[in-house]
Structure 1
Amino acid sequence: MISVDNLAVEFSGSTLFSGVSFTINENDKIALMGKNGAGKSTMMKIIAGVQNPTRGHVRFPKDAVIAYLPQHLLTEDNCTVFEEASKAFAHIFAMRDEINALNKALETRTDYESDAYMDIITKVADLGEKFYALEDVNYDAEVEKALLGLGFKRSDFNRQTSEFSGGYRMRIELAKILLQKPDLILLDEPTNHIDIESVIWLENFLLHKANAVVVISHDKAFIDAITNRTIEVTMGRIYDYKANYSHYLQLRAERREHQIKAYNEQQRFIADTKAFIERFKGTYSKTNQVNSRERMLEKLEIIEIDEVDTSALKLRFPPAQRSGDYPVIVKDLSKSYGNHVVFKNANMSIYRGQKVSFVGRNGEGKSTMIKAIMGQLDATGTCALGHNVQVGYFAQNQASLLDNDLTVFQTVDEVAQGEVRTQIKNILGGFMFKGDDIHKKVGVLSGGEKTRLAMVKLLLEPVNLLILDEPTNHLDLKSKEVLKEALLNFNGTLILVSHDRDFLQGLSEKVFEFKDQRVIEHFETIDDFLKRNRIENLKEIDLQ
């Protein structure tokens, strides 16, 4: 059991949170929730031991192993993928090597009666007891299973880690954590860089093979699937629910109703008390009662109502001209890089107003197909946009196209037209730009902030074909709701690539699956595809 005792974090004269206490039991699967800036990641860093609190302690057994996956990694690139993942067992290999070295020393020594010799004997015995008590494991097979589950191919194992994107290096770190089988796994936004198949694999690992888990995630389907407890960080304190995220939302709503009722009753009591004081102030016979009630009001602890986002921000794409019947037509399209075939003889016809999803493991060609549609790369075959198509394109590098010299507000104001210009501050607030944030220059924003700003800008441009490649990676749950609502009401054509299953649900009526160098058309909704795909993947996953 891990105990968090009276944690507090203060900086620049303000308190992030204080008096936070809870325990993490052996098989708890905890979602750490709260709005951005509430202190979730800070609390996780303190539990991981990489940040110190202002006050309080985290206590755990001496031999407990705590593994932490932050949002952003600083990795070294001096070995292969397989070698890096195998570092999960470095302590075991070091123990084995030390035993071998000590045994070799014993073979060459002759001072059998000396204290030094007996010390070596004792050390070998102690290490041997620990080493041979370990489960007999085929470590190479375990590394292979974890890497394959997280989306690597066997051909990737001997490639240098420097050849991979930050997302894939995050997966290597995640593989190392999972292979250590720690007592507690701390995950900060683990699904941002992995595809649907890998998320399914991760879910089942955490459910069936992991011990305690604490996770921060904006992927509702993921946290609902793996957690049985929700700790909410809000207004400097926590609320602990023995419930998954969806059930927690219901319980939180009930809690707030009780708070509002208690607050209103307290306000009526305060008003009545003040009226009594005002009425009888200066009346000699009531002096003691007046003084007593004044002291009572001074000591009264005012009931606080938990902050909640009550905004009902609704965005609609501005009207655009009608496109031709088929905005996207692909015939016998093939793309290769040298000897590496991405896909071959792909065909797709997307008609006006249709919403489709591109799904498949990373590296199977989804983004390549989008670039072909956008005319950003050469491929063999036909790939054409239809008549009068106005494209809105959101890619992972979209943030780099923003003007660094403009402010956040100016960036949006440039594209906003008509009545929507009066709502710019509310729209930016819906995407986590609050207060003075709107006056910041784009050049000083983080990568995640720039990505969110690029999304806002796209939402205000008139388009009839919208192509979104992983649009939710830097959005919180509220922002995703705003975006999803806008997409549901969008009457143009939509091509969507996303690994966020909750976001995908209800958004598309046809699925193009990228798999084994092919593009397979599925005449089913994304909901039906995901349900079937999950069942088929579960059959393939070896949990033993």
Structure 2
Amino acid sequence: MISVDGLAVEFSGETLFSDVSFVVNENDKIALMGKNGAGKSTMMKIIAGAQKPTRGKVNAPKDAVIAYLPQHLLTEDDSTVFEEAAKAFKEIFSMRDEIDSINKQLETRTDYESSEYMALIDRVSDLGEKFYAIEDINYDAEVEKALKGLGFKREDFSRPTSEFSGGWRMRIELAKILLQKPDLILLDEPTNHIDIESVIWLEHFLINKAKAVIVISHDRTFIDNITNRTIEVTMGRIYDYKANYSHYLQLREERRAHQQKAFAEQQKIIADNKAFIERFRGTYSKTNQVNARERMLEKMELIEVDEVDTSALRLRFPAAPRSGDYPISVSHLSKQYGDHIVFKDASFAISRGEKVSFVGRNGEGKSTMIKAILGEIVIEGKCELGHNVKVGYFAQNQAALLNSELTVFQTVDEVAKGEIRTQIKTILGGFMFSGDDIDKKVSVLSGGERTRLAMVKLLLEPVNLLILDEPTNHLDLKSKDVLKEALKAFDGTLVLVSHDRDFLQGLSEKVFEFKDQRVIEHFETIDAFLVRNRIENIKQLDLV
């Protein structure tokens, strides 16, 4: 059992949260929820020991292991896959190295009576007691077993981590966590930048292999599948629900309804008593009653209604100019880099107005196909855009491509043409940039703010072919819902790459699967595809 007792965090006199206490029991699977800026990531860092609170503490058994997977992976580019995974045992290796170092010193020193010599004796005794109490295992064999279990091949072990995509780096980090056998796993936005198969693997790992888990995520399906408890951070305090995310939303609405009713009743009582006090103040016969009511109001604990995030993305794509019947035509298309074949002999056409999904594991060619469609790479075969096609493209790293030295306003003003320039402030307001926000530099924006700003640039001119590569990374649940509805209403052609199953569902009517150097066209909705492939994917990933 790990307990959080009286945590408080203050920045420059501002309180982020205070007097936060809760207990994490064995096998608890907790979703940590709250609007952006509420303090979720800060709280997680404190539990992980990566940040100190202003007040309060985290209590854990002496031998408890807490493993933390931050939002931004910390794998070193100068390490191999095997070396990075072996860092799970770095404390044990460090202990062993220190014992060896002290023993060498004791062999050469002759100051047997000195305090320094005795201190070394004490230190090596303490370390030895801890080290030799650890179960004798073959660490290299354990690392190999974990990596192979997560889908790595033996030839991958000596490759640098820099050669791997975000999804595979996630698995390296998870291998380290698995090897530590932690009592509590902390995950901050673990599904960003990984493919659907990796998300499915992670779900099964957490459900079947992990003990206690605390997760921050904007992936509704993911958190609904893995959690049995939701802790909401709001207005500097927490509410603890024994429910998954969807059930929590219902309970939260019921809680706010009770709060609003109690608040309204209390405000009426306050108003009635104040009116009585004002009416009879100075009336001798009512003095005791006036004083009693004043004391009652002074002691009254005021009811607060929890804040509601009323900011909302207002998103509507401009009407799409009419394109030819087939905005995208691909014929006998192949692409390889050196000896590595990405895909070969791909042929398909996408009709005007179709909404399609590109799915498949990271590295199977989804982004490569997009680059081929956009004419950014040399290919074998044909890949053509149809008549009058106007492309709007949102790259996976679109937010990172923004000029960090420009302000929000300058970023949009730079690409706005004609009369639209007079509406820049209105457009930015629709994307939750208002007041002083428009003068902020891009460098200080959060990931979600950068993504919204990149989306603004995409909307400045009408297009009839939208190509979106992971557009929901860093967007909160509300913004994702708004984007999804806007895409449903978009009257042009849509090509969508996303790992977010909840976002995809109900959105695309055809699926192109990238797998084993092939592009396979499925004439079914993404919903049907995901249901049909779920068990197959699980078996392929050795999850059962």
TM over 0.5: yes
Q: Which residue of 2 aligns with 1:437?
A: 437
Residues 1:497 and 2:501 aligned together: no
Greater displacement, 276-285 / 359-368? 276-285
Q: Which residue of 1 aligns with 2:114?
A: none
Q: Which residue of 1 aligns with 2:514?
A: 514
| Shift, 1:180, TM fit | 1.5
Q: Which residue of 1 aligns with 2:113?
A: none
Distance in structure 1 (CA, Å) of the matches to 2:74 and 2:64: 25
Q: Is the 8 A contact 1:82 1:143 kept in 2?
A: no
Greater displacement, 181-190 / 435-444? 435-444
Residues 1:142 and 2:145 aligned together: yes
Distance 1:5 1:513, change over 3 A: same
Residues 1:130 and 2:101 aligned together: no
| Shift, 1:538, TM fit | 2.4
Per-residue CA shift, 1:31-53, capped at 9, x if unaligned? 00000000000000110111111
Letter in 1 for 2:497: V
The gaps in structure 1 that reach 5 residues or longer are 106-114
Q: Is the 8 A contact 1:168 1:193 kept in 2?
A: no
Letter in 1 for 2:427: I
Q: Is the 8 A contact 2:314 2:431 kept in 1?
A: no
Distance 1:196 1:55, change over 3 A: same
Q: Which residue of 1 aligns with 2:430?
A: 427
Residues 1:85 and 2:82 aligned together: no
Matches within 5 A, 1:253-332: 253-310=253-310, 313-332=313-332
Greater displacement, 507-516 / 301-310? 301-310
Q: Which residue of 1 aligns with 2:112?
A: none
Distance in structure 1 (CA, Å) of the matches to 2:476 and 2:526: 22
Q: Is the 8 A contact 1:329 1:383 kept in 2?
A: yes
Distance in structure 1 (CA, Å) of the matches to 2:53 and 2:123: 40
| Shift, 1:528, TM fit | 1.0
Distance in structure 2 (CA, Å) of the matches to 1:11 and 1:398: 31
Per-residue CA shift, 1:117-160, capped at 9, x if unaligned? 9999998787545324x799941443223541xxx555432211
| Shift, 1:167, TM fit | 6.1
Matches within 5 A, 1:443-458: 444-445=444-445, 449-458=449-458
Residues 1:372 and 2:376 aligned together: no
Q: Which residue of 2 aligns with 1:111?
A: none
Partner of 1:293: helix, strand, or coil? Answer: helix
Distance 1:260 1:455, change over 3 A: same
Q: Which residue of 2 aligns with 1:525?
A: 525
Residues 1:53 and 2:53 aligned together: yes
Greater displacement, 514-523 / 86-95? 86-95
Q: Which residue of 2 aligns with 1:485?
A: 485
Distance 1:386 1:240, change over 3 A: same
Q: Is the 8 A contact 2:146 2:178 kept in 1?
A: no
Letter in 2 for 1:398: Q
| Shift, 1:166, TM fit | 6.0
| Shift, 1:17, TM fit | 0.4
Greater displacement, 118-127 / 526-535? 118-127
Partner of 2:387: helix, strand, or coil? Answer: coil
Q: Is the 8 A contact 1:412 1:457 kept in 2?
A: yes
Distance in structure 1 (CA, Å) of the matches to 2:63 and 2:323: 64
The gaps in structure 2 that reach 5 residues or longer are 106-117
Greater displacement, 217-226 / 161-170? 161-170
Per-residue CA shift, 1:377-423, capped at 9, x if unaligned? 11000000001111100002323554556531354463684997674
Q: CA RMSD in A?
A: 3.2
Distance 1:80 1:117, change over 3 A: closer
Greater displacement, 408-417 / 268-277? 408-417
| Shift, 1:444, TM fit | 4.8
| Shift, 1:529, TM fit | 1.0
Per-residue CA shift, 1:334-385, capped at 9, x if unaligned? 0011111110001111000100000011111000000000010110000000
| Shift, 1:321, TM fit | 1.1
Matches within 5 A, 1:19-38: 19-38=19-38
Partner of 1:353: helix, strand, or coil? Answer: coil
Q: Is the 8 A contact 2:313 2:431 kept in 1?
A: no
Letter in 1 for 2:135: F
| Shift, 1:537, TM fit | 2.0
Partner of 2:393: helix, strand, or coil? Answer: strand
Distance 1:213 1:117, change over 3 A: closer
Amino-acid identity (%): 74
Distance 1:63 1:324, change over 3 A: same
Distance in structure 2 (CA, Å) of the matches to 1:301 and 1:389: 63
Greater displacement, 311-320 / 243-252? 311-320
Matches within 5 A, 1:229-240: 229-240=229-240
Letter in 2 for 1:288: N
Distance 1:287 1:127, change over 3 A: same
Distance in structure 1 (CA, Å) of the matches to 2:123 and 2:395: 62
Q: Which residue of 2 aligns with 1:342?
A: 342
| Shift, 1:176, TM fit | 1.1
Distance in structure 2 (CA, Å) of the matches to 1:195 and 1:45: 26
Letter in 1 for 2:474: H
Per-residue CA shift, 1:290-330, capped at 9, x if unaligned? 12212222232221111113466542211121011100000
Q: Is the 8 A contact 1:86 1:143 kept in 2?
A: no
Distance 1:240 1:435, change over 3 A: farther
Letter in 2 for 1:428: F
Distance in structure 2 (CA, Å) of the matches to 1:412 and 1:118: 65
| Shift, 1:88, TM fit | 1.8
Letter in 2 for 1:130: I
Q: Which residue of 2 aligns with 1:161?
A: 161
Q: Is the 8 A contact 1:185 1:213 kept in 2?
A: yes
Q: Is the 8 A contact 1:34 1:233 kept in 2?
A: yes
Q: Which residue of 2 aligns with 1:71?
A: 71
Greater displacement, 255-264 / 120-129? 120-129
Q: Is the 8 A contact 2:5 2:57 kept in 1?
A: yes
Letter in 1 for 2:430: I
Q: Which residue of 1 aligns with 2:249?
A: 249
Distance in structure 2 (CA, Å) of the matches to 1:228 and 1:456: 37
Q: Which residue of 2 aligns with 1:385?
A: 385
Distance in structure 1 (CA, Å) of the matches to 2:258 and 2:198: 41
Distance 1:423 1:207, change over 3 A: same
Greater displacement, 82-91 / 464-473? 82-91
Per-residue CA shift, 1:178-204, capped at 9, x if unaligned? 332200001111110211101111110
Distance 1:162 1:277, change over 3 A: same
TM-score by length of 1: 0.89
Partner of 1:468: helix, strand, or coil? Answer: strand
Distance 1:239 1:446, change over 3 A: closer
| Shift, 1:497, TM fit | 0.3
Distance in structure 2 (CA, Å) of the matches to 1:36 and 1:296: 38
